[in-house]
Chains A and B, each alone.
With several copies, the nearest count.
Chain A
Amino acid sequence: MAFLRVQGIRKEFPGVVALDNVDLEIERGTVHVFAGENGAGKSTLIRALTGIMPVDSGTIHIDGRDTAEDKSLFDLVAYVPQELNVFPHMSVAENLFMPFDKSGFGGAVLSGSRMTREAQEYLDRFDIHARPDQAVGSIAVSDRQLLQIARAATKKSFQILILDEPTTSLTTKEIERLFKIIRQLRDEGKAIVFVSHKMDEIFEIGTTVTVLRNGQTVGHRAMDEVTEPELIRMMSGGEIRLDQTFLPETEPGEPILTVEHLSGRGFTDASFTLRRGEILGFAGLIGAGRSELMQGVFGYKKPKHGRIVLKGEELRLGSPAASVAGGVLYLSEERKLHGILPTLSVRENIGISVLDQTAPSGVISGSRERSIVGSVIDDYDIKTSSWEKKIMFLSGGNQQKAIIGRAMARRPDVLIFDEPTRGIDVRNKVEIYKIMKSLAEEGVGIIMISSELAELKRCATRIITMHDGEISGEFDTMTTDADTLVSAIIGSGELRHVV
């Protein structure tokens, strides 16, 4: 019998069956991938496996024993959730070893020095850039994500490690590092469960895969017996081409946004121009300051010096309201922190940004709101059982789509997309590329920040690279090879202008 065995699990939420008769077997010493589109039920299944969410029916056996009879079996499972779940005002070391009794600090008194020492080992091993005594709120997002993974590994008793989209905020280098650790653990005989929407990752690390669709298992495969198109077909029930590009086919128009010598926290002396009808990519390592720069441009964080010209007029610095009024929208990479309005409905979440269309007279028209929200939900294929469902109950990917749809419905002139496809499934990624392309072709200027170079090369006409808070180069996508870009990203090489 398999080390972890799931039979006939069912879980229903109001209006949706999230898991429907799911069977699963996971062996030690393997990396088992859960694949499926947004809302397929991957995270729900994982929550069931960790014992934190009771299921409606079905059994979970670990090591041959029934978890319904012995809850302590769940101690064998270590789990890294999809969303960041850290304690921002506490130290790195404490975040790492929480809860202490599971990580070998179970005594009555905590030894600070021992904790610092052991924390340093984990920080080195996972290559996390932080000191043990630093507050987690002050370290970079990527480091927080790695820290969260390291935390799971501090659980002394774990035999199964479940990683729910662990790579969303990591760069290639960090992912490689993570995979090295995963392989180590696998070879030590642990069972690993891995979820990602990035196909190359799945194929690189996976041993076996279970595909979920609409809460049901549609197949189990050994990884080397399945091809990428096959897997995608299992997930989506259709064909998706991965080599297609989405570069806007119209000529770029006049400059719409000009940034001159902008400096602020995390970026210095940034100058660039965005033209109508183009997709301008921003590449860089995580922590390069792309988000900071764009939050500065948008006004969410006030820049210290510099000038921004929008549609020929100088933009007030440090005022998101002025930017939005001028037609600039920013979609944050951190949707939980900066995106959703959790206890409001899907309708209200989308409706909030189209109020100038639904309430031109100052009074919201319910029918107009319903028609706009309805078309957003259809256009972006947002899976929700009801428009009135609180958005916090949607799957992560569907939340992301709702936020994107909401921004598009506002018909912006400039759209700043920070990691637009983070956590989005393959089919919907393509949908988002298509949307960006058609918006650009309608004359919208789009800035796209992405840590996936491949993605930038499929969409962006020009790519600006950033390194350590400064712009390190500007390249024409068609004429530049990957090596040139990478060296600009990692900061070796002079400032280049290739355009």
Chain B
Amino acid sequence: MSSEVAAETASPAKRTLASRIAAVPLLGVFTALVVIFVVSCMLSPHFLTPYNMTIISRTLAFVGLVTLGQSMLMILGELDLSLGAIAGLCGVVGGIMMVQMGWNPWLSFALCLALGTFCGMFNGFLVVALRLHSLVLTIGMAGVYGGANLVATKGVAITGIPDAIRVLGNSKLYGVPVPFVILVVALIVITFMAVKTPFGRYLYAIGNNPPAARMLGIRVDTIRVLVFAAAGFLSALAGMLMVARLGTAQPSIGEGWVLAPIAASVIGGVATTGGVGSPIGAILGAAIIGIIENIIVLFGVSPYWQSMVSGAIVVLAISFDSISRRYLRREG
């Protein structure tokens, strides 16, 4: 470290290429993504078709929205394991409103986003009020929200979602699936927020050193609650878009959105200990996982091997990241 200090203060020319690369935190995951993309293109002729790209980008959109929320929470040093359950609950409540109650679809959509925001906020409130680490609290809350879903639906999907909403899930804008467009917009907004606004920087500050942030007068608790709420909102959005996509409100929506967003975030450089990483990295991580899952099927990997292969690749991806970072640091 002292050498860095010396090098940096004395002459910028002295800094090696490796240390410059290490200074770009997204480069590792971006490189990995490109490598995986290129390899996939070579492995399967069906990979780089417009249709397959549509599938990948749309799948990424749903899990990506949840990943955005989860990664912000992780930067803050928190975790919410109930985001999937919130997505599912909001999806089915939306279905109930639109179909069984016959409410205006857009009103129902908005109300469900509000519901998701509220659920997230409630988690945040409990974390703050009870001074609990969020991991276990949200394990419990996942049971509560998932249970509410079951109570509301009795496990039966709600069919007959109005076309007005279905368009959101199934149409394209200049050839790009609408959910993916929404993800990109959300990513831009959140990245801007994270990088350029005081609020975003406080996120990092709290994740870095909560007592110090509190001492400086940053409203740690308020910010925590807000970020939980934002994550709830994004999950509800993902859930509603999935309902729009499927045309039915499935009670099982969100079940796969619990661990994948965490894994994606870590692959993308967000530390589980807080204060490090970026939402954009997390989305790149989610893209890596999505492409791997896609290529495994395209490539005809036996279904019995699928979970092993994708687990192994997650492990490889984070190992690669960790090793390359250490190597680059040593060089720098």
Contacts and interface: CB of A to CB of B under 8 A. Distances in A.
Contact of B209 (A85, A105, A325, A387): A85
B201 A100 contact: yes
A388 B23 contact: yes
B329 interface: yes
Contact of B205 (A81, A337, A341, A362): A341
Question: Main SS of the interface on chain B?
Answer: helix
Contact of B201 (A94, A337, A339): A94
Contacts of A266: 1-3
B129 interface: no
Contacts of A89: 204, 208, 275-276
Interface stretch (B216-224, B244-252, B260-268, B314-322): B216-224
A442 B276 CA distance: 39
A175 interface: no
A85 B7 CA distance: 25
Contacts of B2: 140, 265-266, 287, 289, 292, 469
B23 to A, nearest CB: 7
Interface stretch (A57-65, A126-134, A232-240, A305-313): A126-134
B176 to A, nearest CB: 28
A23 B204 CA distance: 39
Given A266-B2, A364-B197, A129 B212 contact: no
Given A321-B217, A330-B215, A351-B201, A342 B5 contact: no
Contacts of A386: 5, 8-9
B202 interface: yes
Contacts of B329: 14
Interface stretch (A106-114, A218-226, A245-253, A429-437): A106-114
B212 A109 contact: no
Q: How large is the interface on A (under 10, 10 to 19, 20 to 34, 35 or more residues)?
A: 35 or more
Contacts of B208: 87-90, 341-344
Contact of A90 (B1, B196, B205, B332): B205
A340 B212 contact: yes
B4 interface: yes
Interface in A16-71: 52
A364 B196 contact: yes
Nearest to A365: B196
A250 B332 CA distance: 47
A338 B212 contact: yes
B287 to A, nearest CB: 24
Interface string A121-144: 000000001110010001110010
Interface in B218-259: 218-219
Contacts of A359: 197-198
B216 A363 contact: no
Contacts of B201: 90, 94, 98, 100, 110, 348, 351-352, 355, 364
A366 B19 CA distance: 23
Given A100-B198, A351-B201, A321 B5 contact: no
- Most chain A CB atoms below 10 A, which of B3, B19, B195, B218: B218
B133 interface: no
A106 B218 CA distance: 13
B196 A342 contact: no
Given A14-B332, A353-B216, A388-B8, A87 B209 contact: yes
Contacts of B215: 52, 79, 81, 85, 298, 300, 320, 330, 332, 338-339
B205 A388 contact: no
Contacts of B326: none
23 contacts: A14-B329, A52-B215, A94-B201, A98-B201, A98-B202, A98-B205, A101-B198, A108-B197, A129-B5, A140-B1, A300-B215, A320-B215, A321-B219, A329-B217, A338-B209, A341-B275, A343-B208, A348-B204, A355-B198, A355-B201, A362-B197, A386-B8, A387-B5
Interface of B: 1-5, 7-9, 19, 23, 195-198, 201-202, 204-205, 208-209, 211-219, 275-276, 329, 332
Q: Which 3 A-B pairs have the closest CB atoms?
A: A324-B217, A87-B208, A341-B208
